[in-house]
Amino acid sequence: MYLAVDLSFIIEKVILISVILGGSLGVAMYLTWAERKVAAIMQDRVGPNRAGPFGLLQPLADGLKLFAKEEIIPTFSNKFLFIIGPSLAMLTALMTSAIIPWGPTFDGFVLQVADINIGMLFIFGVLSVGVYGIMLGAWASNNKYSLLSGIRAAAQAVSYELALGLSLIALIMLTGTMSVKEMVEQQHGFWADGWFTWNVFKQPLGFIIFLVCSFAELNRAPFDMAESESELIGGYHTEYSSMKLGFFLFAEYINLFITSVIISCLYFGGYNFPGMDWVALNVPPLVFSLLGVVVVITKAILFVLFFMAIRWTLPRFRYDQLMNLGWKKLIPLALINMIITGAAILFWFK
């Protein structure tokens, strides 16, 4: 009896993990196509249009090219760490998807790999480890430009993780939980008790701080100091080729997608949407759960497009500007937001 229950639970989780991993890799692959299309639209160009209709086979062509390229390991590099670097970056990029609730529960099937009560701490832990992939790859390359890029990435991550954590402390104070699933469930629907249920309306300053810090954590423009091509050639992955380089590039786009999903869950209701109670009563439970998944992914894609639009809109910050924004602007703002949130909780719930 217990063996059957445990076996069914394991099979359920293996299926869910496989779907999430496969979906994340597929989305990351086509985000490279979307990035180039967004850039082309904003620069009045055509973009990829030769490989398949609308260039939709371009990611497959790029992947085949990376697979076919020669694997090069620099002679004076630390070969073990040189290989571990991109592998660690890819692993940590995929790990954060484990605590994301992808949709409402259907017939006892929970669309979440692990609902842990310290979900936010798990995210911070994975983020903290993720920078080691970049640092190991940069140091093991035995290239001074790569090492300088890795140091920039580490300093940037440490600076902005502080403001990111402080912005989330205010959200945790407001919701009273660190479970991502419980945070999503508290944002049920869109309107209740005379106010919006989504956290972005309750924590607008916290959301802005979290969003800016997400740009820095992702090493995307205008915070792409880790690559900064005009100064560092190719940044921390200058010496990488073939699929090792592909791992770094894929990890960047997986992080972009997962970060967009996390923002959607924490501040924009996750799988909740206006009128969902009426929909739940008028459609089969399976359709309702799948609709919730579509809602989460749609919100995430909108954020992905926003990230891409910003990349091709704003110029790169100088390094001193980047550090000043993190330490002198965002951290004080996050502390003020935390104090205001605490005062509001005491006033309304005393």
Residues 80-135 have pLDDT tens digits of: 888 898 888 888 888 888 899 998 888 778 888 888 888 888 888 888 888 888 88
Q: Please check whether residue 273 is in contact with residue 295, taking contact to mean a CB–CB distance below 8 angstroms.
A: yes
Q: Please check whether residue 100 is in contact with residue 262, taking contact to mean a CB–CB distance below 8 angstroms.
A: yes
Q: What is the pLDDT of residue 302?
A: 95
Q: Report the distance separating Cα 34 and Cα 26, nearest Å.
A: 12
Per the structure, the count of domains in the chain is 1
In a domain, 102, yes or no: yes
Identify the DSSP state of 50. Answer: S
In a domain, 135, yes or no: yes
In a domain, 248, yes or no: yes
In a domain, 6, yes or no: no
Range of the domain at 78: 68-349
Q: Report the distance separating Cα 344 and Cα 43, nearest Å.
A: 45
In a domain, 50, yes or no: no
pLDDT surpasses 80 at 270: yes
In a domain, 23, yes or no: no
Q: Which residues contact 111 (CB under 8 A, 6 or more apart)?
A: 16, 101, 102, 103, 104, 105, 289, 292, 293
In a domain, 22, yes or no: no
Q: For residue 191, what is the enclosing H or E element?
A: strand 191-192
pLDDT surpasses 50 at 9: yes
Closest of 126, 125, 135 to residue 155, by C-alpha: 135
Q: Report the distance separating Cα 117 and Cα 296, nearest Å.
A: 21
pLDDT surpasses 70 at 5: no
Closest of 45, 48, 102, 41 to residue 264, by C-alpha: 102
DSSP lists the bridge partners of residue 191 as: 196
In a domain, 345, yes or no: yes
pTM reported for the whole predicted model: 0.92
